[in-house]
Amino acid sequence: MNIAMYVSCFVAFISFCIASLAIVRVAKFDKSVQGLDWEAVATLLGDVATVKRSITRLNGRLNGMDSPKYDVEQEIARAMTQPVQQKPRGG
């Protein structure tokens, strides 16, 4: 019976510590966003969207460079092996 009492006291103490940490984190968050108004939040959201678009464009360019669709060496080899077509002379 004594073990159950000690275990429950230990669990209660751990729960109290976790709740205290949560309260401290919420207080820090509240203090950090206290000066923000809706205009500042909208500006930050616009900046984040602009950065996301830039990253997406850059990733697209980088993926295009590695694309196997356009291989310069294959294009040169294909151009060298194809017979040259001459235009008919006529008047």
Predicted TM-score (pTM) of this structure: 0.41
Residue pLDDT, tens place only, 12-22: 999 999 999 99
Q: Is the pLDDT of residue 49 over 70?
A: yes
Using the Cα atoms of residue 47, residue 49, residue 55 and residue 57 in order, give the sign of their dihedral: negative
Half-sphere exposure of 5 (CA within 13 A, CB side): 2
Q: Is residue 73 part of a domain?
A: no
Q: Is residue 89 part of a domain?
A: no
| Total domains in the fold of the chain | 1
**Rounded Cα–Cα distance for residues 19 and 15 (Å):** 6
Range of the domain at 52: 35-66
Q: Is residue 9 part of a domain?
A: no
**Rounded Cα–Cα distance for residues 58 and 63 (Å):** 9
